[in-house]
Amino acid sequence: MQSMNISLPDPLKQFVDGQVGQGRYSSASEYVRELIRADERRKAEETLEAALLEGLNGPESALTLEDWTAMRTEALARLAARKHQR
C-alpha cells in the first residue's frame, strides 16, 4: 500500500477528526478510503445508467444465448474483482 499526503483546511480536518472520533472509522485514512470507494461506486452507477439509457434509446436488436452468457460471465468477473479489491 502506498501513502499519500493531503492538505485540508482546518474546518475539513476537524470534520474528518469528528468522523473518526465518533468511532465509525478507525483512522482518517480509513475515512478517506471509504469516501474514494463511494465515489468509485457512484461513477460506476453513472456509467451503467448512461449505458442503459443508450441501449433504451438505440435500435432494437436480438440477443442470442451466447450474448447473455458473455454478459453474465463479464458481470460475475467484475463482481469477483471488486470483492478481491476490498
pLDDT in tens, 18-36: 999 999 999 999 999 999 9
Instruction: Give the C-alpha separation, 57 to 60, whole Å.
Output: 9
Indicate if the pLDDT at residue 51 is higher than 90. Answer: yes
Cβ–Cβ < 8 Å for 31, 20? yes
pTM exceeding the 0.85 threshold for the entire prediction = no
pLDDT of residue 27: 96
Band the pLDDT of 5: cuts 50, 70, 90: very high
Cell of residue 6, nine digits: 493531503
Band the pLDDT of 58: cuts 50, 70, 90: confident
